[in-house]
Amino acid sequence: MKALILSAVLAVCLYSCKEKTQTPPPPAFGGSHLIDTAIITADQQAKLTPEKILDNLKQGNKEYTEDQLVVRNTSERIRQASTGQYPGTVVLACMDSRVPVEDIFHAGIGDMFVTRVAGNVVNEDILGSMEYGCKVSGAKVIVVLGHEHCGAITSAIKDVKLGNITELLSKITPAIKDLDNTYKGDKKYTNADYVEKVCEENVRLSIKNIRDKSPILKDMETQHQLLIVGAVYDMQTGAVTFLQ
């Protein structure tokens, strides 16, 4: 009897040890498990066209919405990027915590410059950052990224007055006024369609301000060295819709 008990205990121990030492299978993310450690090099950046970069952004967002997630070796990418960075894109996004910019486009360390401010508005600091990213560091696409359910947009519609927020929201007000004669529905923050239209108009306003207030970026666009595009992020689906 003791021999049988000893044999059973030994079998359990051997099975447990085997289970602990086995390498677990990789997790499945939407049917794929991808490993990506490479960052954009100077040579790769130089060869990319603005149109190709934009196509890559659209493809990355498509994969994001389909849960084709990319697992990256972040530590390795940090080491690779430590001596230089060559992003292809500058993204102007809202500061909203629900808008994970790099993830939305399947991007990682070294892939894009991201500047964030409530309402994705434009000021001289934002413009200077964009000029650095494009003229100095070689990025070839600027994306102004708005999003649905934006608190800055609804606050601007409400005409909120509070500290420095008042000045920030004043940069969105022209987008609201631009819709005064064209939008026929209820112009209230409770009207989701109206808020969406103001969001889109605000993206277009920011693009206009970039072109009007940065001769450097406007000239790069004129010379076909740069694309400046607008887009809106859908929080329900994760999809980015690029505006015409």
**Can you give the CATH number for the domain in which 184 is found?**
3.40.1050.10
Which residues, 6+ apart, have CB-to-CB distance to 6 below 8 Å? none
Write out the chain's pLDDT in tens, 244 residues.
544 444 444 444 444 444 443 434 444 434 444 555 677 778 888 889 999 999 999 999 999 999 876 666 666 666 666 666 779 999 999 999 999 999 999 888 888 999 999 999 999 999 999 999 999 999 999 999 999 999 999 999 999 999 999 999 999 999 999 999 999 999 999 999 999 999 999 999 999 999 999 999 999 999 999 999 999 999 999 999 999 7
Instruction: Specify which residues 228 forms β-bridges with.
Output: 142
| DSSP string over 10-50 | HHHHHHHHHHHHSPPPPPPBTTB-EEE-----HHHHHH--H
Q: Would you state the pLDDT for residue 71?
A: 66
In terms of DSSP bridges, do strands 141-147 and 34-36 run parallel, antiparallel, or are they unpaired? Answer: unpaired
Q: Where are the alpha helices (DSSP H) in 99-214?
A: 101-104, 124-131, 151-158, 165-170, 173-178, 192-213
Q: What is the separation of C-alpha 221 from the centre of its chain, rounded to a whole number of angstroms?
A: 21
Range of the domain at 201: 2-242
* Short-list 101, 90, 169, CA closest to 126: 90
- 78 vs 90: CA distance, rounded Å: 19
Number of H helices and number of E strands within the chain? 11, 7
Q: How many domains, in total, are found in the chain?
A: 1
